[in-house]
Amino acid sequence: MIGAEIGRVAALWRYPVKSMAAEQLEEVEASWHGLAGDRRWAFVRDGLVRSGFPFLTIRERPDMGQYRPSFLDPARPDRSATVVRTPAGEDLDIVDSALATELGDGTRVIKLDRGIFDVMPLSLITTQTIASLGALTGAELDVQRFRPNLLVEATGDATWPEDAWVGTVLRIGGMRMRVDQRDKRCAVVNVDPASTERDPAILRVIARERQACAGVYGSAVAPGRVAVGDPVLLEDRAVRREWRPG
């Protein structure tokens, strides 16, 4: 059964290339493998391919977020060519060797149609959590530090509302999303997406006050379309199915 409305979708983003800039959306189709077109490409570093984390990210290159990928056919991102605008304003095909060379010797691009996710295919954070972290750090934090797919403005006065949603299923537009776990943060949150400057105090505060967690991870249990402004409804039961890639 569906419970009460607990919020509204305030913004949506997908990240065509892992660690590069977000593409903001008004609506998007969500499948078993996350939002259509999300994190389908990534750059890996030779010599680390067999490691647990071979990817080139904002941690190694803070300016990765200044590279802006887009799809030539946004309506069909999983079948579209992908182009990246560099910080210098040059448009390069994602598979152009010049792009890999610019990012660093020994770097090459890979594609995975099921998405290249650290933990789960969907990430969500609330406006309340962003505001609360800003109060704790004494800074106005750009939501893109946290690279979510969904930004939700929750109802009520809870400071960290999404924590209470872990283990439940949310109906968001036409999608049903199980909230699997809190999102444990890494040094990426230290990088200001606009200036690329690092501030280690950001992660230190989150670690001290929040066990390094901010926002939640989840997975779709029923695919569907999601749009900005959609209500977020809380179901009164969770679906007991573990997400498996592929």
Average pLDDT over residues 201-212: 96
Q: Provide the residue ranges of all domains of the chain, joining segments of one domain with +.
A: 2-235
Q: Which pLDDT does position 74 carry in this prediction?
A: 87
From residue 123, give the alpha-carbon distance in Å to each of 14, 194, 215, 234. 10, 21, 7, 17
Whether 9 shows a pLDDT value over 80: the answer reads yes
* pTM > 0.75: yes
34 touches 71 (CB < 8 A): no
According to DSSP, residue 203 is labeled: H
% of the chain beyond a pLDDT of 70: 93
- pLDDT tens per residue across span 159-198: 999 999 999 999 999 999 999 999 999 999 999 999 999 9
Whether 242 shows a pLDDT value over 60: the answer reads no
- pLDDT tens per residue across span 31-40: 999 999 999 9
* CA–CA dist 129, 216 (Å, integer): 11
Cβ-in-10-Å burial (0-12, 13-18, 19+) of 135 comes to exposed
> Is residue 108 helix, strand or coil?
strand
- What dotted CATH number matches 2-235? 2.40.33.20
What confidence category does residue 232 fall into, taking pLDDT thresholds of 50, 70 and 90? very high
Q: Which pLDDT does position 152 carry in this prediction?
A: 98
Neighbours of 9 (CB within 10 A): 20
What confidence category does residue 245 fall into, taking pLDDT thresholds of 50, 70 and 90? very low
Torsion 23-25-29-35 (CA) sign = positive
Show contacts of 53-58: CB within 8 Å, 24+ apart: 55/18, 55/19, 55/116, 56/19, 56/103, 56/104, 56/107, 57/18, 57/19, 57/188, 58/19, 58/188, 58/191
Q: Which pLDDT does position 70 carry in this prediction?
A: 96
Q: Which pLDDT does position 236 carry in this prediction?
A: 65
- Among 16-20, 129-133, 239-243, the least confident range: 239-243
From residue 131, give the alpha-carbon distance in Å to each of 128, 142, 160. 5, 10, 10
